[in-house]
Amino acid sequence: MSSFILSHDLGTTGDKATLVDAEGQVVAAVTATYDTDFGPRGKAEQDAEAWWGAVCTATRQLLEQVPGARDGVAGVSFSGQMMGAVLLDAAGEPVRPAVIWADTRSTAQTDRLLERVGMEAGYRITGHRLNPTYSLTKVMWVRDTEPEAFARVRHVVLAKDFVVRRLTGALVTDPSDASSTNAYDQSAGTWSAELIEAAGLDRALFPEVVPSTTVVGTVTTDAATATGLRAGTPVVLGGGDGPMAALGAGIIDAASGAYAYLGSSSWVSLAADAPLHDPGMRSMTFNHVIPGRYVPTATMQAGGASLQWIMDVLAPGEDGRYERLLAAADGVTASEDGLYFLPHLLGERSPYWNPRARAVFAGLARHHGPEHMARAVVEGVAFNLYTGLLAFVENGATIERMDAIGGAANSAQLLQVFADVWGVRVRRRTLVDEATALGAAVVGGVGVGLYDDFSVARRMSEQAAPREPDAAAHERYLRTHAVFLDAYRRLEPWFESL
């Protein structure tokens, strides 16, 4: 009987379950959605039980689609949203909703942590700025604002770790997710005693860190009943969605080039043999799911989310709005016409690391219509990601091409704008929506011995639809990118006053 890897990608909007065969081909995929509770002062929470429900639903639907798949699953593996905090009691049950990556309410806690440790020291230890978007200060925030709930907390995990525990009973995390917490010493490969002590937290809250390919247990009888999986099916831990997306895009070593993920949050990234520490701290470095490798990354909070937002505002409920507005935007200019969009709808990570930043249209004139606004949003996302690319190049990386994954990579208009702004060839992978799930499948397959090594990722999808940069357009964008950066600098004091 054929052997399959069942991978789950626990994203911001839902869980994508994907069945991949022994040759690395996608057999079937199902997505089960869940909601996010966005609120004032930077609130962004999800119900961890909804993640588990989505995993159960997606698994059952997937197994129903492929007759005989249940007995052919060689292993289950996970990719999960990073930088959040799932707070569990002694029984391993959530004491409150999960605080996800987009939540920025822990600004005061971050300020206190910075007073005790310092930004440069924190960046040196973790490969990241100390910032409210990370797990550590989110835990501090719950402690400070919800003491009764925090009194019951015994464990802090990430999204995929919670679901793995539900499946197996194991309570662990991996280096890629650990490196997204602001509590992990990247050079030592252990939790940072200095940062956890400075946060006033107990080291015992943080789980054991094991390699992403570890078979942490098997599906329990109760979990089998809930999911439809066979009891005893091996479960591979997996990793965070950023490094997992890199693997799914074929980025396995320094020779693999760079890639862009164009999802709700968006980023540019590459693989490296050592952390990349930018003197300006514009970028950060995660541990890869491949042992001994790293993924320097520049992540913006609202990349695809900015595109989705402008579509919702300009054409709410309209069928085909995305294609119509992008086609209209393709026929106009924005920054060359003095119109700019600062895409900071959820505050910002790279390059500013400012949770108080907000989105702004600057330069609106009477003749600007929906097509100009849509074009400005596309250019604003491209500009922000380009600033991250410059952080890599200025620190010695050579970037001659970019592979694009994520839902927005399906748009030829978007890819051409990105190519023109970035000045490099941009190619879409043939599997853009499944790239992160594919990465999880590779990790799972390596973990259970179905795949020999990580290089299988390179044949699981191909490059397609290359877009070459227009040299004249790139020169114009270099000038308008400078104006884009200047707009943020001028508005930053105003953001602080909001």
pLDDT in tens, 174-220: 999 999 999 999 999 999 999 999 999 999 999 999 999 999 999 99
The residues with which 142 forms a beta bridge, in sequence order, are none
Give the C-alpha separation, 344 to 351, whole Å. 11
Together in a domain, 200 and 292: no
Together in a domain, 313 and 412: yes
Together in a domain, 272 and 346: yes
Together in a domain, 408 and 259: yes
Q: How many domains does the chain have?
A: 2
Domain end residue (candidates: 193, 214, 237): 237
| 243: in domain | no
Give the C-alpha separation, 232 to 229, whole Å. 9
pLDDT at residue number 435:
80
User: In 327-379, which ranges are E strands?
Assistant: 340-342, 360-362
Give the C-alpha separation, 409 to 465, whole Å. 10
| 209: in domain | yes
| 401: in domain | yes
Together in a domain, 221 and 267: no
SS3 291: coil
Closest CA to 299 of 93, 14, 102: 102
What tokens appear for 403 in the block? Answer: 């592979």
Give the C-alpha separation, 368 to 357, whole Å. 24
Type of residue found at 9:
D
| 44: in domain | yes
Together in a domain, 56 and 130: yes
Which domain range does residue 41 map to? 4-237
| 245: in domain | no
Residue 449, pLDDT above cutoff 60: yes
Alpha carbon distances (Å) from 272 to 74, 162, 243, 295, 462: 31, 29, 12, 6, 22
Give the C-alpha separation, 218 to 194, whole Å. 35
Together in a domain, 277 and 361: yes
Weakest-pLDDT range from 85-99, 330-344, 454-468? 454-468
SS3 363: coil
Give the C-alpha separation, 196 to 110, whole Å. 13
Residue 257, pLDDT above cutoff 90: no
Instruction: Determine the average pLDDT of the residues in 418-436.
Output: 86
What tokens appear for 245 in the block? Answer: 């997306």
Q: What angle do CA 414, 418, 421 make, to 5 degrees?
A: 140
| pLDDT band at 2; cut points 50, 70, 90 | low
Together in a domain, 166 and 287: no
Residue 285, pLDDT above cutoff 60: yes
Domain end residue (candidates: 211, 237, 263): 237
> Tens digit of pLDDT for each residue in 32-83?
999 999 999 999 999 999 999 999 999 999 999 999 899 999 999 999 999 9
| 219: in domain | yes
| 352: in domain | yes
What tokens appear for 335 in the block? Answer: 């920054």
Helix, strand, coil percentages in the chain from 3-state DSSP, rounded to 5: 40, 20, 35
> Tens digit of pLDDT for each residue in 113-141?
999 999 999 999 999 999 999 999 999 99
CATH number of the domain within which 486 lies: 3.30.420.40
Domain end residue (candidates: 202, 237, 272): 237
SS3 287: strand
User: Is residue 72 within 8 Å of 229, Cβ to Cβ?
Assistant: no
User: Is residue 80 within 8 Å of 52, Cβ to Cβ?
Assistant: no
Together in a domain, 121 and 201: yes
- What mean pLDDT, rounded, does the chain reach? 94
CB contact burial 17-48 (16+ within 10 A = b; e otherwise): bbbbbeebebbbbbbbebebeeeeebbbbbbb
User: Is residue 412 within 8 Å of 378, Cβ to Cβ?
Assistant: no
Residue 434, pLDDT above cutoff 90: no
What DSSP state is assigned to residue 288? P
Answer left, alpha or beta for residue 353, where phi above 0 means left and psi between -120 and 50 means alpha. Answer: left
Sign (positive or negative) of CA dihedral 226, 444, 180, 427: negative
Q: Is 370 exposed, middle or buried (0-12, 13-18, 19+ CB in 10 A)?
A: middle
pLDDT at residue number 94:
98
pLDDT at residue number 249:
87
pLDDT at residue number 196:
98
pLDDT at residue number 462:
66
Alpha carbon distances (Å) from 289 to 177, 202, 207, 244, 352: 9, 26, 17, 7, 26
Together in a domain, 69 and 128: yes
| 320: in domain | yes
> Tens digit of pLDDT for each residue in 67-78?
989 999 999 999
pLDDT at residue number 461:
67
Together in a domain, 178 and 322: no
User: Is residue 136 within 8 Å of 144, Cβ to Cβ?
Assistant: no
What kind and span of H or E run contains 246? helix 241-248
Together in a domain, 28 and 61: yes
